[in-house]
Amino acid sequence: MTDSRVQRQIVGMAKGLAVSASLLVLPGASADAAQLMPHRAIYELTGKSAGGFGRSGSLHGLLTYELMEDCDGWSVNQKAGLDVSAAEGAGHRFEWSQATWEAKDGSSYRYFIKDSQDGTTGNQRRGELVYPEPGATGKLTTELPARGEADVPPALLPVQHTLELLERAKAGDTIYLAKIFDATVDEKPVEISATFGPSLPQSELQAEAFAPLINVPSRHIDFAFFVKNLPDGTPDFEQSIELFENGVVSRVSFEFGGLPVLGKLRKLEMLEPQTCE
């Protein structure tokens, strides 16, 4: 049972993990614009409830996330593995991986995404989206699941979206609605609503475990994803994160097959950006 919604929820974590160096941080942008911190992080995923896997259903796994910077863009590599046990003892292994590159000026986005269950490959998506100019319709060229071309309306790319989240939060906004293209579930933009909590000056996690997060404010953000535009207006699924102002996420929560899942940061390593002239 491959749950593509959870693939988006896990992959969608990148929207909090990666803060975009988009048009807002090109030369001439304000000095206090949000900055992206290249890093590698490992998250422990746990979950147990009386949900879709039964009263003794349980889940555990790991999510590995890596964000790297080059002169022209950002590369994101992430892998997630989940071991799920049902009430009657049956167990399954779910895995996802995603590799993307996004231009800093928002003009192009390349991706390769795949998932598997119990070692059998499921969905695979590979393609490239090119926007000829800001605000224009883009051209999507796909190789997987099939070769083809399609027009894509103007939309934010994943790291652009997270930069906007940080900028809107700093400006005092409480809600931000945007259309995003990331190709994790569908090859068209998806609407995402973000609701911001108050800024948190310090947390126990920062002080005790991760030096790069010390004295860096964070805030809680709730996301609602609208994929199918349901008649009653409810989201297809939801997700929550704690996002730091340097772009690092310390925790994420979502649902998988009825199980509420919590991801906690267990290891954090800063990466050196590429030197550009």
Domain membership of residue 39 as a residue range: 4-270
Residues 6 or more apart from 7 whose CB is under 8 A from it? Answer: 96, 113, 115, 123, 184, 185
Over the stretch 161-196, which tens digit does the pLDDT of each residue have? 888 888 888 888 899 999 999 998 777 898 999 999
Residue 215 lies in a domain: yes
Residue 16 lies in a domain: yes
User: According to the model, what pLDDT value does residue 34 have?
Assistant: 60
The three-point CA angle 146-130-73 to 5° equals 110
Residue 250: C-alpha distances to residues 2, 90, 107 (Å): 26, 31, 29
Tell me the percentage of the chain whose pLDDT exceeds 70: 79
Is it the case that residue 205 has pLDDT exceeding 60? no
pLDDT bin (cut points 50, 70, 90) of residue 202 is: low
Residue 83 lies in a domain: yes
User: According to the model, what pLDDT value does residue 277 have?
Assistant: 64
Q: What is the DSSP letter of 106?
A: S
As for how many domains the chain has, the answer is 1
Residue 277 lies in a domain: no
Residue 275 lies in a domain: no
Residue 185 lies in a domain: yes
Over the stretch 246-274, which tens digit does the pLDDT of each residue have? 888 988 988 876 778 899 999 999 888 77
Residue 276 lies in a domain: no
pLDDT bin (cut points 50, 70, 90) of residue 85 is: confident
Q: How far apart are CA 79 and CA 91, in angstroms?
A: 20
Run of H or E residues at 195:
strand 190-200
